[in-house]
Amino acid sequence: MMNKFLDKTLKIKYEDLVKKDSLLPIKISDFYKEKIIEEVNAIGVGGPIYKSVIPTKDKIELKTSIETRDYVEENKHMPIQNVDYIIRKYDNRLVFIITDICFSHCQYCFRTYNLAKFQSSNLKKTIKEKVDTLINYLKENHEIKEVIFSGGDPLSIGYENLKYALDNLKHWEIRIHTRAIVYEPSAFTEEIILLLKLYNVRLVFHINHPYEICDQVESKIKEIDNAGIRMYSQFPLLRGINDNSKVLIMLLERMDNLHIRPLSIFIADPISYSACFRLSFKRIIKIIDEINFSTPSWINSTRFVMDTTIGKVRRENIIDWTDNCITFSRDNKIVKYHDLDDGIDQPTDLKILLWKEK
């Protein structure tokens, strides 16, 4: 498929960057490939589903003045020496990177460098070691009440590994962040759904576009819902994928119909090779206002947040905006954000973003 859909020179350039600059190799599940084929047949290459997992010329060539590998400095929030899979930014919760494996690789992944660096596996021994290390840490840090499984995709570790983790973490609140629902819905097997219910897990889906919710995805979400599992959503705001209030509203409405509670829409961090996905802050504010002024509260209560070195910040945290420099304040701490350079952010044509609509 790649030969048909990705220019040969571009493919070689990208593969070179995978080796030299630790980008994630192209990986697309068969399930998601079907959606790409459908989209390419309708509108050609470069549509929202395509751009999610296949590199474009802009992805490789577009650069902004401020880009970094680890914008939120996860590396500075690893409380155990030489353990890079436990990230703690807040007193009462932590992120547990239980695996670095995903069903497909998102081109905009903000953990690109960490995932490319980890290169571990889903071996039983590896997962057990990680869980045991985490438990020891939790036993010494009683203020932590919640463990957030992230990755990689926690659903990729399979039933036995997930059972081991949940059995041993039954005294903590568990949240699982996953994109398996759109890349590999069959990963939610009957026994995994029962397991998630047994341990009262909160499931947070990462769905970026309404077309990702096809009939099969919808029926799997209903199966999970019927089991009584709490479902939430958070996803990034991405140029070329969902950078229009109409797309976001359609997505939020579809998820609401399926009983998925929206939590946050993330403003993409300025990590390296992210320029083709980011929006200017001015346009982000415009999109937020369009949603606020045209939708009921069950839609517009969704928070737009940006993850930074001082934690998550919102529009309300802006204390200064001079030229391209925006200053946010939170908990008596300040962080400066350099907006996209002028001229880079070109809104995507709605006819491309919502190509199925008449």
Binding region for ligand SF4 (CB under 6 A): 102, 105-106, 109, 111, 151-153, 179
Of 179 and 326, which has the nearer Cβ to ligand SF4? 179
Shortest Å distance, C-beta 236 to ligand SF4: 8
Determine which helix (DSSP H) or strand (DSSP E) holds 282, and give its type and residue range. helix 281-294
Residue 248 CA neighbour count, 13 Å, CB half: 31
Helices 190-198 and 158-168 sit at what angle, rounded to 10 degrees? Answer: 10
Shortest Å distance, C-beta 182 to ligand SF4: 9
Secondary structure class of 223 (helix, strand, coil): helix
Of 94 and 106, which has the nearer Cβ to ligand SF4? 106
Residue 272 near residue 69 (C-beta atoms within 8 A): yes
Shortest Å distance, C-beta 292 to ligand SF4: 27
All residues at 6 or more sequence positions from 151 whose CB lies less than 8 Å from its CB, including other chains: 97, 98, 99, 100, 101, 102, 115, 177
Identify the bridge partners of residue 174 per DSSP, sorted by sequence position.
147
Of 268 and 299, which has the nearer Cβ to ligand SF4? 268
Shortest Å distance, C-beta 190 to ligand SF4: 23
- Sign for the pseudo-dihedral over CA of 293, 294, 298, 300: negative
Of 122 and 168, which has the nearer Cβ to ligand SF4? 122
Of 178 and 300, which has the nearer Cβ to ligand SF4? 178
Of 111 and 220, which has the nearer Cβ to ligand SF4? 111
Of 95 and 201, which has the nearer Cβ to ligand SF4? 95
Shortest Å distance, C-beta 152 to ligand SF4: 6
Residues in the chain: 358
Secondary structure class of 261 (helix, strand, coil): strand
Shortest Å distance, C-beta 157 to ligand SF4: 13
Shortest Å distance, C-beta 22 to ligand SF4: 13
Shortest Å distance, C-beta 141 to ligand SF4: 25
Closest C-alpha among 184, 135, 117, 182 to residue 157: 184
- Rounded CA-CA distance 313/356 in Å is 34
Of 269 and 299, which has the nearer Cβ to ligand SF4? 269
CA distances from 6 to 10, 36, 45, 166 (A): 7, 12, 8, 41
Shortest Å distance, C-beta 100 to ligand SF4: 8
Of 205 and 328, which has the nearer Cβ to ligand SF4? 205
List own/partner pairs for 163-171 with CB under 8 A and 24 or more apart.
Answer: 163/195, 164/124, 164/127, 164/128, 164/131, 165/98, 165/127, 165/131, 166/195, 166/198, 166/199, 166/201, 168/131, 168/132, 168/135, 169/131, 169/134, 169/135, 169/138, 169/199, 170/199
Please, what is the Cα angle at 215 between 210 and 218, to 5 degrees?
Answer: 70
